[in-house]
Structure 1
């Protein structure tokens, strides 16, 4: 995904940049038209808030065009406004005010306060129809959530504990912010992130779900590792994967910045081959667990079939008194453990026959088809 801009023909990239630059001033003016009524309503309701907006970046617009497969002229949600308040209850109050001013798009509302993202991100996201019928994305969060979203968990801890003095951590954060800002305005963000990941994250890859959630995985991870990172059930039923919208083999190695989508089927189960390419311990553990369970089920089924044929021969049932009495004598607590042992070949059915009918002469042992085949192959008589 991050290499997408680099692969675009130079003419197409330049044309898109020209269109974005040409409309930037117009988009900034439009943001003010949306911001002003929100600001007025919050003041009227005596809610202290910081409101700021920005036209979406070139790279963000490019991604929308690529994902939706639409030209620049058909991308309408090019605006983003952020409202920062003091308390959680004010977030929902502001949401109500925004929805009273502008018509919301119901399927574009996300409550990351009630259900935070896996990385701890919390905020309300809503998209509304602004003036002239244009879509505007509005994010509403508290100062604490803003610290967390902008600077990460360490900054969140500092905020909670009221630590105000600057540290080397702040210097590193500002350095990264400065790099990002300059790169977004001057150069290709794809080049920047590509270089940054090589320098800083050589042993890890950072990929995204279609919903935008970030996942950190070991270098060399595959879509199967990603599937298990999302949820065990997703991994167990993973049948195919898409990287940046394209179907790829499950053993494809992931690279930072890619968007990974997992396709599942209830009929799909892990197979032994997956163990040859997965990298995460969770994936390996879950795959082995399923394989063991399947092997146990097959073993149990085989043992059950052998035991049922034996019981049918002597007109016995599993819950007969004879079977209940004989189990402890042959070293088993229950029928299931007996079936498993028979299925594994650890316990031969003739031993059960001898315990049940000690006076009866043993049944002559018949050679299996496999043994007969081997004898014929060796030329034995």
Structure 2
């Protein structure tokens, strides 16, 4: 077996899906401009992506090993490449619903396969963790790249022009390259096992976990976090364009600051956790998020970026709102680490299923609520609304901390 070829295949596949999955905010902005739809109508795209991921992730786990990881990955990439090729010729809003449903379905297949294949090229826990972090790091690189890739195809002088859909030809090519890398990678077929019983047992374990108070509080916390992240991240390009009056391409490029802030925040938090406890860090981050929202949003009333021609000419205050991602970044992975460390090893797979499902529900809910408030009131009102889940998170995280102390759970510093 050639582990390098397998690693390249996994990295290429994740890079493509990072661009596609996180393009929903850009597509919402362009759909509003190009197809004359309301923000409320556009907000459903997040649901087509996230709910499909949640449902399919749970279903496919039972038969992907029987199908084979390599074939599953090829099917996922093939479906995405085909949809990308069709998008410019269809050029209708309903096609985006289909596209994101296909992306969600395909990513669910890809994620299950990638996480399973990583075990084929690693020999111990340290190697597994290192490779997984590398793959996830490449995913973040794809997220950052996606904003710029889309902005290259957008003509700010003609907002209703659908020529930007040609970006999907490029994405089809990238998906084709990933398909080829998987095709030539020596990914082994999984050993056959009694999958039906294991899947039924996992489902029962997952239902049983929901009766634990600690799990309920964690689920609420994870739901609220993703509600904030997707609400802000998905609607930031539209906020930049319609509230700050920035050109469309620059609005999208500026939104990449949010993704960069998330990546940097997780790197910094990993070091900070060496010297302070996880609860102190989470509490500080939540307070900082609330303060940033209260300080920055009033400044956005005074920004008029209609004359801006480069991202380097954007007013400084416009950079401040995406920086909420820096303080937001540690919350989700750290909560997951604490929760999983509180469970026995045989319960962690079931807990992962709950994380996927409720994260998807939180993301969809956040996007729809933000889009509705944005449409009926204003962008400032929509983003002020994040103060409510931030406040609720302060309460739920505090309860979560007390419950972990009562159970004697002491997570290691540096887990993130």
Flag the structure with more relative contact order, 1 or 2, with Cα contacts below 8 A and sequence separation at least 6. 2
Greater per-residue helix proportion = 2
Given the two structures, how large is their TM-score scaled by the length of structure 2? 0.22
Given the two structures, how large is their TM-score scaled by the length of structure 1? 0.24
- Rg larger in 1 or in 2? 1
Greater per-residue strand proportion = 1
